[in-house]
């Protein structure tokens, strides 16, 4: 696979929202600054890549890199669940508050736990996102959360599970909150991973962003061309919606079930790349799931735009 070393913008602010949050907690112990946590994430990933490069462990580089990033993602999730429990306790105590000193102390403790948990969650996310950014710059690979949604930071845009986005669309129809801007769906061949493929994918996505500036990108996160699309979204700060193929549940039909989720998002346009545009490879066959998404788009009255090689 061809890698692209792209410089990401990662300038930190001295007075960040995270630093403001930690300063308001009233803890006598100092908190690491956002700059320090970001530098920690970069240093950890840089050290890992430097140590394993050109060694026998280089064959397992992707597993090790994703494991390091995933560890902080998992920690953020665990801490956030604890903070959610503290918020639930805070709401219950506030609802049943009787004005007594004991109830006031208990409410203040639950409030402090919820706020400190929020700060710790954000700290893990800052380390995770800095490590992920460094991983992409060093290797050309992109990391996405395997399960669940992920809120964004100044280093990354948010990532949303397709099922959650579909629920939001249904809620919107019922008169509830609008989930956000227009959605652009993309499916592409795993073999379409060359510089020429990247150029055509980026051209198509740049066109889409020009048409719908507040767009979100929906894809399955498969290797090859879809990873290139995710890299574009990260560079542009575009929200990502991931409809992963669940092979454990759906077997060989998983890529096509994932297409059903993409269609259910009601995208403004479905972009497809059925094979590499870098010349015709011998025996190259169109990528079935990408063809299927185009067919389903037309069957559902959605716009379909195939990505093709530049005209000679």
Given a cut of 70, whether residue 180 has pLDDT beyond it is no
Q: Residue 7 and residue 174: Cα distance in Å, rounded?
A: 43
Quickly state the pLDDT bin for 265 (edges 50, 70, 90): confident
Report residue 217: phi and psi, to 5°: -100, 130
Task: Name the band, by pLDDT with cuts 50, 70 and 90, for residue 208.
Answer: very high
The secondary structure of 98-146 as a DSSP string is -S-HHHHHHHHHHHHHHHHHHHHHHHHHHHHHHHHHHHHHHHS-----S
User: What pLDDT, on the 0 to 100 scale, is given for residue 178?
Assistant: 46
The length of the chain is: 312
Which pLDDT value is given to residue 139?
Answer: 87
- The pLDDT, as a whole number, for residue 146 is 62
pLDDT of residue 4: 34
* Reported confidence tier of residue 229, pLDDT bands at 50, 70, 90: very high
What pLDDT is attached to residue 169?
A: 59
d(CA 17, CA 14): 10
Residue 294 pLDDT > 80: yes
| pLDDT > 50? residue 11 | no
Nearest to 70 by CA among 100, 48, 90, 103: 48
Question: Residue ranges per domain, the chain?
Answer: 17-139, 159-306
Three-class SS state of 61? helix
Nearest-CA neighbor of 298 among 309, 287, 306? 306
pLDDT number for residue 179 = 45
CATH topology of domain 159-306: Rossmann fold (3.40.50)
Q: Please give the radius of gyration of the chain, using alpha carbons only, rounded to the nearest integer.
A: 22
Q: Which strand (E) or helix (H) includes residue 293?
A: helix 288-299
Mean pLDDT of all residues in 80-107: 78
Average pLDDT, the chain: 82
Q: Which own/partner contact pairs does 77-84 have at CB distance under 8 Å and 24+ positions apart?
A: 77/148, 79/117, 79/120, 79/121, 79/124, 80/117, 80/118, 80/121, 82/113, 82/117, 83/113, 83/114, 83/117, 83/118, 83/120, 83/121
pLDDT at site 227: 92
Give pTM, 2 decimals.
Answer: 0.54
Query: For residue range 234-261, what is the model confidence (pLDDT) as tens digits?
Result: 888 888 888 888 888 889 888 999 999 8
The pLDDT of 179-186, averaged and rounded, is 82
Q: Mean pLDDT over residues 160-177, rounded?
A: 57
């Amino acid at each position: 696979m061809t890698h692209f070393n792209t410089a990401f913008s990662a300038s930190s602010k001295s007075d960040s929202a995270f630093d403001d949050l930690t300063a308001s907690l009233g803890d006598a112990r100092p908190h690491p600054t956002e700059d320090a946590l970001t530098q920690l994430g970069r240093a950890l990933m840089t050290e890992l890549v430097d140590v394993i490069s050109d060694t026998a462990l280089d064959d397992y580089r992707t597993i090790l890199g994703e494991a390091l990033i995933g560890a902080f993602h998992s920690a953020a999730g665990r801490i956030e669940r604890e903070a959610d429990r503290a918020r639930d306790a805070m709401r219950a105590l506030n609802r049943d508050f009787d004005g007594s000193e004991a109830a006031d102390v208990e409410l203040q403790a639950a409030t402090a736990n919820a706020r400190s948990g929020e700060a710790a969650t954000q700290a893990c996310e800052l380390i995770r996102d800095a490590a992920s950014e460094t991983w992409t710059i060093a290797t050309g690979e992109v990391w996405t959360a395997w399960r669940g949604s992920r809120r964004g930071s100044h280093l990354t845009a948010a990532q949303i599970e397709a099922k959650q986005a579909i629920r939001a669309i249904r809620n919107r129809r019922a008169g509830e909150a609008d989930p956000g801007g227009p959605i652009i769906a993309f499916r592409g061949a795993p073999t379409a991973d060359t510089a020429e493929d990247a150029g055509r994918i980026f051209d198509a996505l740049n066109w889409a962003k020009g048409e719908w500036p507040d767009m979100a990108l929906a894809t399955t996160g498969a290797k090859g061309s879809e990873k290139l699309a995710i890299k574009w979204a990260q560079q542009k700060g575009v929200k990502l919606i991931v409809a992963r193929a669940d092979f454990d549940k759906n077997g060989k039909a998983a890529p096509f079930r994932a297409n059903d989720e993409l269609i259910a998002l009601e995208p403004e346009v479905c972009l497809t790349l059925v094979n590499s545009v870098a010349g015709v490879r011998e025996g190259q066959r169109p990528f079935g799931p990408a063809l299927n998404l185009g067919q389903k788009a037309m069957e559902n009255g959605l716009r379909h735009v195939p990505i093709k090689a530049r005209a000679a």
